[in-house]
Amino acid sequence: MATATGSSAGDETTRWKYLDHIRRTPGPFTDPDAVAEENLAQFDKFKVLVIGAGGLGCEILKNLAMSRFKDIHVIDMDTIDISNLNRQFLFRQSDVGSYKAEVAARFVERRVAGVRITAHNAAIQDFDEAFYRQFQLVICGLDSIEARRWINAMLVSIAEDAEDDPDGIKPLIDGGTEGFKGQARVIFPSMTSCIECQLDMHAPRAAVPLCTIASIPRQPEHCIEWAHVIAWDQEKPFPTLDKDDPTHVTWLYQKALARAQEYGIPGVTYSLTQGTIKNIIPAIASTNAIIAAACCNEAFKIASNSATCLGFENNYMMYSGNDSIYTYTFKHEKKDDCPVCGRQARPLEVDPASTLGDLIDSFAVRPEAQLKKPSIRAEGKTLYMQVPPSLEEQTRPNLKKTIAELGLENGQQVVVTDPAFPLEFNFFLRFKEKASA
């Protein structure tokens, strides 16, 4: 890249030569109005929000700047750790401890003339609806399902409040990677399938039963968990486990390796041990680059109308690089019972003989819910509230009562809330039938 310092008008013309050719030369899928001068000028005023400045976010910021987006904001609450440097290429060792958003913004501004990047060192929940209304497009490079769900609900709320105002629709481009796999999707809030519609694709990983770990390991991760959960507790090699201490990780690795050799299981490595005990999702720089490119390609198509974007027909692109390169694009359907963009309550299967406490606990692992601190109420009846403390104490006895004892009926509607999400989840109870003798 040429540096911003000392760039001339000639340099700028050369830099954007091919991009301007794409924008000014209509193709078979180009909106006829896209090449009009007033629409070409609108591109320069396009304001984009990038959420996340990690592995994906760094690539997205660079790609947007090199695609001639001039007004970009980036949100990230994290600081740079030394482990980030192998794949988050905007950071240097001297940046360790600094805010990711701030460092990434300044780096790209230095390298690309004319771009202005505003950094926000905060959580997305720290901003209100008015903040998000100022953007024409939002791109997520997140590793958190909760954060995705929150911004999805916010943008759907903005779109529904805007009613017939087309400026109220803030397209959401979401990218995600895990190892050699990744996905990119485009969501038009309130109009197309949203992240909540697709939540069951991100179901929590099932925990490995302790009996498997203790007696019949089949995978290298089972051996690592045995060292982590059982061997450590039995031998107590150090007072407390520090998962960032190489000495502690090495002890677990050696224990796991010995157990794996005993059962003839290959694949236990130091890096896998560290990743398993810290629940690290593997990140590969090449996968980040491919998915970020796909996201920014969609952003360019939306902003310039140079080609049809994902979103209305095929809206979900999945990529796999495990064995050669494979991509597949399909349409993820909008669900009528989606708690965010739908209008119908969704069924909640329960056993009337189970307790309310069992139901509350189940929300964390239900693929369609995934709620960590749920409160629940029925019509005219507060069943259990997590906050405030006084109400939690008052409703706590209900946790030991069965669904039947609480007077809840088959088909009855209940409302569930969680402080992590700015919306209510509407369900109707569907009692499980008793198995016949």
Q: Are 33 and 39 in contact (CB under 8 A)?
A: yes
| Rounded-to-integer distance, Cα 99 and Cα 172, Å | 24
3-state class (DSSP) for residue 106: helix
Look at residues 201, 194, 176 and name the one whose alpha carbon lies nearest to residue 290.
176
Question: Which structure tokens are listed for 215?
Answer: 């007696």
| Rounded-to-integer distance, Cα 24 and Cα 1, Å | 23
- Sheet strands side by side (includes 116-120): 116-120, 71-75, 47-51, 137-141, 172-178, 181-187, 316-320, 326-330
Beta bridge partners of 99: 79
Tally the residues of the chain. 437
Q: Are 317 and 331 in contact (CB under 8 A)?
A: no
Residue of 211, 309, 338, 341 marked catalytic: 211
Helices within 305-437 (DSSP H only): 356-362, 389-395
Q: Is 429 exposed, middle or buried (0-12, 13-18, 19+ CB in 10 A)?
A: buried
Task: Find where tokens 């720290």 sit.
Answer: 126
Look at residues 341, 34, 336, 308 and name the one whose alpha carbon lies nearest to residue 169.
341
309 labelled catalytic: no
Q: Are 220 and 265 in contact (CB under 8 A)?
A: yes
Ramachandran bin of 83, using left for φ above 0, alpha for ψ from -120 to 50, beta for the remaining angles: alpha
| Rounded-to-integer distance, Cα 121 and Cα 78, Å | 8
| Rounded-to-integer distance, Cα 147 and Cα 154, Å | 11
3-state class (DSSP) for residue 27: coil
Angle between helices 246-262 and 270-277 (to 10 degrees): 110
Look at residues 207, 187, 325 and name the one whose alpha carbon lies nearest to residue 276.
207
Catalytic center residues: 211
